[in-house]
Amino acid sequence: MKWFIVAIAAMGVVRFILDAGGVSKDVVKFFSMSVLVLAGWLYFAFTSTTHKERLKAAYLLVMPYMAIEVLALGYTWASGHQTIFHAREYSFGASIAVHTIGHFVGGLTWEPLFGFVVMEIVWGIYAAGRYVFKHAVA
């Protein structure tokens, strides 16, 4: 888990630095924290043994993502300097205040719960497949 948390946070910092350094948003968009969060959800869907562990993992994987997003949006809000974190395609036209608060609230509520549901579905398919395979071979 620690490596996923570090990787997600590091990717967010790299994304911010590249954007602040003037790298095109068409390039920066490929430095995705979301892909790492999704990879973590899939990994822990298979490796966590209980529903409680998967719920905890879902929250822990979203926390660095949310922290970087809120900090980067806070920077945009305070400085007025547009970053990729508040680009039109990511903010859906919302104001910086609404976007920042939305990430904070979403990061504590529906985003990790959505991840937990994804993990539960993946785990359910995996567990059902193992059950069927085990009984088909026997």
Over residues 52-87, the pLDDT tens digits come to 999 999 999 999 999 999 999 999 989 988 898 988
- Number of domains observed in the structure of the chain: 1
Share of the chain above pLDDT 70, in %: 99
What is residue 131's predicted lDDT score, i.e. its pLDDT?
A: 84
Q: Map tokens 């620690």 to a residue.
A: 2
Q: How far apart (Å, rounded) are the C-alpha atoms in residues 22 and 19?
A: 5
125 contacts 47 by C-beta, under 8 angstroms: no
Q: How far apart (Å, rounded) are the C-alpha atoms in residues 111 and 90?
A: 15
Comparing 5-14, 96-105, 116-125, which segment has the lowest mean pLDDT?
Answer: 96-105
Q: How far is CA 21 from CA 56, 68, 71, in A?
A: 35, 17, 17
pLDDT band for position 91 (cuts 50, 70, 90): confident
Comparing 2-16, 43-57, 75-89, 102-116, which segment has the lowest mean pLDDT?
Answer: 75-89
| pTM of the predicted structure, to 2 decimals | 0.89
pLDDT band for position 132 (cuts 50, 70, 90): confident
pLDDT band for position 138 (cuts 50, 70, 90): low
Q: How far apart (Å, rounded) are the C-alpha atoms in residues 62 and 85?
A: 16
Domain of 105 in residue numbering reads as 2-137
- Quick one: three-class SS letters along 80-128? CCCCHHHCHHHHCCCCHHHHHHHHHHHHHCHHHHHHHHHHHHHHHHHHH
